[in-house]
Amino acid sequence: MKSLTTKIIALVTGSALLLSVLIGVLTIDAFQGVSRQQAEENLILTAGINGEEMDRALYTIEQSVDSLSQMTLSAITDFSKFKTSDAYVDECTATLEAAALTLARNTQGAMTVYIRYNPEFTDPTSGIFLSKSGDDFEELVPTDFSMYEPDDAAHVGWYYTPVNAGKPIWMDPYLNENINVYMISYVVPLYINGESVGIVGMDIDFSVIQDMVNSVEIYGSGYEYLTNASDVLLVHKDYEGGTPLAEADPAAAALLSNAEKADTVQTAGSQVLVYTPLHNGMKLVLTAPRSELLASTRGMIVKIAVAILIALLIVIAVACFAGNRIAKPIRKITKIVQNTAAFNFQSTEGGDKLCNLRDETGEMARAVRQMRGELRNMVNVIGNSCNSLNGNIDNLLQSSTHVNDMTENNSAVTEELSAAMMQTSEGTERIRETILRLQQNAQSIKQLSQESREVSQELMEGARSLSNTTSEATRQTQSMYEQVKKDTDAAIEHSKAVAKINQLTEAIAGISEQTNLLALNASIEAARAGEAGKGFSVVATEISALANQTNQTVDSINETVEEVCTAVSDMVKCLDTLMDFINKKILSDYDNFNSLGQKYQEDTSAMEESMDQVAVSIRDLAEALEQISGTVGDINDMVRESSEGIHRIAEETGSMAEETGNNSQMAVQSKDTIQELFSVVGQFKM
């Protein structure tokens, strides 16, 4: 990943580099054009200056020779005499010696100055020949024409060539074997009346011209050379004099042949050249390699490149500074965003300064601050919601725990009630059995009463035997009394179980009230729980209905138990009366039987009536016992049904306890979830 600073630096540097290259290319191209134009102008100017200098040097020589020529023609006042009189020739020559010496001394580069006459009518050695010796000139004997043929250019060409040309000429450089000097000569043929008089000439040391040409250097390896009018090289640094230019440089020779291109820059292969025609027909050529022509351009290109590099470095420095100024706030904002990603919402140092920036970075910082504020508010809302939900879950857990405890207690009480009902059922079964025995005993008493009646009827007749049987009857009566007493006490004791039924029904009623209250609380909690408490609301409704049914059942049991209690109370009263009767009457009668035996007969009627009453009472008792037995059977059935209902209540209560446990478990899971939310909220540093 490239940093923003790097990207800015790269972008600015690339843009600056592209702009610099573009400007550099345009500048270099423009400068090359200007530089090339200046170089060409400089080349033309240099060639012109050198040509003028060369022309001045040659013109000086020409003036000297032309002046001496005029003097010579002026000195020959009588050409006819000059052709015939050697003395006149000598006289004319003598008048010219001083002038020739003065011109020789005042002409730069002059090696010799000579005036030679036509050998056809003058002496072969006639004339003037001044040759430089040291710093001055001395007069020497002129060349003897008679010694050389006219076509001997090496020795006498300097004379016959201009004479044959019929005009002043510059001789090509040559080695004067007479004095062993390489020289160039300017010779003016003299004519009087169209007839050749001779020549006036001056030999110039060609080294002077060579030095003038070879001294020119331009653009490193640029140089100058000189050709004659026929484009034969006179001076060249690489070729000997006399070499045709067409052989040395055909391209240059082709260019020099076009007079219209004079004093203009022309390209010849890898060279550029400017030639300046001299007034004597020679051509002074200034040439230089094309590559060197723009050497200054390359130097300027280097300078421009250095300037571009320096500017680029400055731009890079500015880009680094600007990129750092731009990227620094972004890095700070990135740090803030990273802190936000790490749930760190603590205030950041320099945040206000970032938000006060009046640019896109400031807008970004303000947007991040707004986002952090919104997230902080959301976290606070989540935290508050977690606290509220945690409190609700705590309350739900407490309620669920309380309901669970109540359900467990209800289940336990229901189990106890079921067990008590089972015991009650067993007790009623035993009461029924006891009542059956009482019925049997009542039957026995009835039978005994009938027998007693029969006995009372026979008392009259068996009074005598009464005394014998009284002891046995007393004993049997005592035994029967004890048995009846025992059975009665047992029946009374068992009848107390009916009272326990009242206690159990009261307990059931209390449980029903608690169940009804529990159902009400469950309905309230289900309403609070909303959608999640609908199942719990159904259970609460069923529990409430069961509690109402239990209340109705308890009311029915209470009514039946009241009837049973009333019947048992009546039976107890009857039994008490019977026992009291037996205890007070029969036993006392049996105790006094022996003493009252005599009164039996009198009391037989009374006893018969009493026996009738006993029979009626026994019959009523049997009927009551039968009713009690039926009622006890109904009670037994009701207790059994109640036991089964209570058992179902116990099972449903167990299911409710299980559901409540599940609710508690879900509440615990919700508690764990809230703890996870708290842990998530705890990660946020506010």
Give per-residue pLDDT as tens, 170-193: 888 877 666 677 888 899 999 998
Give the per-residue pLDDT at 96.
93
Please list the residues that pair with 188 across neighbouring strands: 200
Give the per-residue pLDDT at 347.
74
Q: What does the block give as tokens for 633?
A: 């059977």
Of the two residues 122 and 615, the one the predictor is more confident about is: 122
Please list the residues that pair with 136 across neighbouring strands: 133
Q: Is the pLDDT of residue 602 over 70?
A: no
- For the chain, give the mean pLDDT: 76
Q: Are strands 136-139 and 233-235 parallel, antiparallel or unpaired?
A: unpaired
pLDDT band at 390 (very low <50, low <70, confident <90, very high): confident
Is the distance from CB of 224 to CB of 216 less than 8 angstroms?
yes
220: left (phi over 0), alpha (psi -120 to 50) or beta: left
Q: Is the pLDDT of residue 483 over 60?
A: yes
Give the per-residue pLDDT at 81.
92
pLDDT tens-digit profile of 307-329? 888 887 887 888 787 777 777 77
Q: Which range has highest mean pLDDT (458-467, 540-549, 653-662)?
A: 540-549
Distances (CA, A) of 623 to 260, 436, 486, 524, 678: 174, 11, 21, 54, 78
Distances (CA, A) of 87 to 120, 122, 547: 16, 10, 187
Q: What does the block give as tokens for 553?
A: 């059942």
Name which of 383, 344, 297 is nearest 42 in CA terms.
297
> 0.95 exceeded by the pTM?
no
Q: Give the chain's radius of gyration (CA, Å).
A: 82
d(CA 490, CA 307) in angstroms, rounded, equals 135
Task: Tokens 């809302």: give the residue.
Answer: 381
d(CA 426, CA 628) in angstroms, rounded, equals 16
Could you please report the per-residue DSSP string of 460-479? HHHHHHHHHHHHHHHHHHHH
d(CA 568, CA 554) in angstroms, rounded, equals 20
